[in-house]
């Protein structure tokens, strides 16, 4: 870890307007993230409660790189455990989803209950009077590695840490109201998408905290009015600056204004018309004219609304230079067939093939390969929206939420910049 000791001096500015590229390419940084972020006092998204409706329902999720099983117990409680047998470490649960009130390891048939308790050890007292476990073997002290689990509005989070505050306080008063807005009615899962992006996982967090790129990389949704830099926009952060909300609303701005913003950008085509615009012809779920809402919860959850689509996007690190973006596409319980059909049509905006989000995979790839060829001490420039204090802003021409992420990241990784107030 010697090379890491040098890192605190490698933030060239104390207001996080320069981000060292080695944070995306250094194995030591990656290992430290697994300890400090994913095993530290932070809450990690696992799934939504609607995925576990019945007692015994379980599914596999991830905390950092570590696979965990999250489960509804016989009593309706939610528990989670590291997916590794207490005996010799084998993977315990072998399928991604199912229903069971106990789990038996394939290797030696050790059996565990939904609270991780060790229920049965075959041949504990030996066979024909010989062998077996020592007489003082105590099943109670050989349960599974359990995680703390809490949920907010049906979003289930877990942590390996006893020090993390409650999830309610972790989300805080700036973030909770937006979750309340989306989850004002019961949700159901419409499907999953998986996208394996050849980039460091933090590049995706940077991407979704960055409204500056949205109107420049994603010409499709500029052209069709889902997102324009001239729209009413706001970037909100919590007190740690680690979580953020980007919100854009359609205020019926003048087309001439949009055209002037795009003067000289030949990718923007004012004359572009769809042959079949019916995928825009869907009644909105909310009457607040919000066309785009991107929330990120530190360290690695994104919760998003693009037009009528709502999804959680779980950024699952798979090594230094790859992550799986695991999308859970949500509809509302009780919505009529027409509303669901509208969401299926608008699935064309999202997921690995979506008009908008396919380009975010490409952005990650391009940045990773570019950064890998730079000198170790090189940095990115993050100062759209200004230098200095990291505060909420009423513009979309800003990168301030990236600076907020890096500030909280630096604190969580114990590599603060000199002079930063924590």
Partner 1 sequence: MSVAAIPADRRLAVEALLDDYVQALDGDRLEDWPELFLEDGLYKVVSRENVALGLPAPLVYYYSRGMMRDRVTAIRDALTFEPLYIRHLVSGPRISGGDGAWNARSNFAIFQTSEEGRTRRYAVGEYCDRIVDTRQGLRFAERIVTLDSFAVYNLIAVPL
Question: Where do contacts with partner 1 occur on this chain (CB under 8 A)?
Answer: 97, 189-198, 217, 219-220, 223, 267, 269, 272, 274-276, 278-279, 324, 329, 340, 343-345, 347-348, 351-353, 355, 358-359, 361-363, 365
Q: Which two tokens stand for residue 358?
A: 């396919």
Secondary structure letter of residue 417 according to DSSP = P
Closer CB to partner 1, 155 or 217, in the complex: 217
Question: Sheet holding 78-82: strands in order across?
Answer: 78-82, 66-72, 57-63, 97-99
Collapsing DSSP to helix, strand or coil, 377 comes out as: coil
Residue 50 CB, nearest approach to partner 1 (Å)? 12
Residue 353 CB, nearest approach to partner 1 (Å)? 4
Residue with tokens 């300890």: 35
Residue 98 CB, nearest approach to partner 1 (Å)? 12
Helix (H), strand (E) at residue 260: helix 255-261
Collapsing DSSP to helix, strand or coil, 178 comes out as: helix
Is 50:187 a contact under the CB 8 Å cutoff? yes
Closer CB to partner 1, 25 or 213, in the complex: 213
Q: What are the helix (H) ranges across 21-81?
A: 27-36
Closer CB to partner 1, 34 or 340, in the complex: 340
Residue 271 CB, nearest approach to partner 1 (Å)? 11
- Calculate the CA 198 to chain-centre distance: 16
Residue 329 CB, nearest approach to partner 1 (Å)? 5
Residue 418 CB, nearest approach to partner 1 (Å)? 38
Task: Name the pairing type of β-strands 379-381 and 232-237.
Answer: unpaired
Closer CB to partner 1, 17 or 311, in the complex: 311
Closer CB to partner 1, 287 or 336, in the complex: 336
Residue 199 CB, nearest approach to partner 1 (Å)? 9
- Calculate the CA 134 to chain-centre distance: 45
Closer CB to partner 1, 175 or 363, in the complex: 363
**20-24, long-range: CB < 8 A, 24+ apart:** 20/377, 20/378, 20/379, 21/371, 21/374, 21/376, 21/378, 21/379, 21/380, 22/376, 22/377, 23/200, 23/202, 24/199, 24/200, 24/202, 24/203, 24/320, 24/367, 24/368, 24/371
Residue 229 CB, nearest approach to partner 1 (Å)? 17
Closer CB to partner 1, 189 or 397, in the complex: 189
Closer CB to partner 1, 144 or 306, in the complex: 306
């Amino acid at each position: 870890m010697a090379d890491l000791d040098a890192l605190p001096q490698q933030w060239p500015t104390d207001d996080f307007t320069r981000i060292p590229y080695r944070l995306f390419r250094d194995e030591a940084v990656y290992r430290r993230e697994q300890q400090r972020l994913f095993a530290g006092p932070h809450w990690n998204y696992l799934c939504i409660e609607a995925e576990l409706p019945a007692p015994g329902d379980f599914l596999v999720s991830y905390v950092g790189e570590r696979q965990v099983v999250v489960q509804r117990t016989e009593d309706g409680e939610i528990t989670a455990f590291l997916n590794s047998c207490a005996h010799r470490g084998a993977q315990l649960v072998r399928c991604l989803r199912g229903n069971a009130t106990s789990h038996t390891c394939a290797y030696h048939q050790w059996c565990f209950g939904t609270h991780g308790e060790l229920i049965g050890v075959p041949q504990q007292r030996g066979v024909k009077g010989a062998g077996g476990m020592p007489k003082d073997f105590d099943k109670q002290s050989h349960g599974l590695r359990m995680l703390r689990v809490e949920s907010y509005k049906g979003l289930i989070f877990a942590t390996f840490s006893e020090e993390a505050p409650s999830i309610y306080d972790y989300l805080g008063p700036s973030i909770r109201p937006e979750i309340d807005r989306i989850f004002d009615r019961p949700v159901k899962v419409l499907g999953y998408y998986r996208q394996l992006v050849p980039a460091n996982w933090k590049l995706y967090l940077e991407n979704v905290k960055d409204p500056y790129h949205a109107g420049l990389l994603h010409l499709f949704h500029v052209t069709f009015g889902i997102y324009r830099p001239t729209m009413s926009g706001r970037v909100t952060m919590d007190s740690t600056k680690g979580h953020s909300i980007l919100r854009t609303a359609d205020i019926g701005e003048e087309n001439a204004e949009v055209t002037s913003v795009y003067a000289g950008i030949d990718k923007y085509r004012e004359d572009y018309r769809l042959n079949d615009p019916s995928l825009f012809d869907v009644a909105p779920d909310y009457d607040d004219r919000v066309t785009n809402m991107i929330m990120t919860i530190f360290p690695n959850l994104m919760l998003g609304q693009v037009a009528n689509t709502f999804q959680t996007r779980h950024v699952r690190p798979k090594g230094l230079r790859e992550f799986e973006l695991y999308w859970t596409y949500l509809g509302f319980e009780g919505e009529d067939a027409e509303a669901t059909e509208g969401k299926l049509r608008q699935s064309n905006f999202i997921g690995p093939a979506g008009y908008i989000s396919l380009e975010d995979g490409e952005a990650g790839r391009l940045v990773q390969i570019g950064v890998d060829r730079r000198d170790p001490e090189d940095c990115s420039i993050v100062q759209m929206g200004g230098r200095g204090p990291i505060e909420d802003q009423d513009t979309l021409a800003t990168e301030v939420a990236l600076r907020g992420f890096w500030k909280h990241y630096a604190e969580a990784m114990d590599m603060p910049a000199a002079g930063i107030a924590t």
